[in-house]
Amino acid sequence: MVNSLEDKKGEDIVLIDLKDIVSFTDYFVLCTGTSDRMLDALANSTIESINSDHKKKGKRQGISSDGWVVIDYGDVVVHLFSPDQREFYDLEELWKDGKVLLRLQ
Q: Given this model, what pLDDT does residue 13 score?
A: 96
Sign of CA dihedral 60, 64, 70, 73: positive
Closest to 21 (Cα-Cα) out of 103, 105, 104, 99 = 99
Nearest to 30 by CA among 19, 52, 46, 51: 46
Which pLDDT belongs to residue 105? 82
Question: How many folded domains does the chain comprise?
Answer: 1
pTM: 0.94
**CATH code for the domain in which residue 59 is found:** 3.30.460.10
Instruction: Name every residue whose Cβ is closer than 8 Å to that of residue 90 and which is 6 or more positions away in sequence.
Output: none
Consecutive 10-residue averages of pLDDT for the chain (105 residues): 90 96 96 96 94 92 96 96 97 95 92
Quote the CA–CA distance of 24 and 36 in Å, as a whole number. 28
* Domain that residue 40 falls in: 2-104
pLDDT at 77: 97
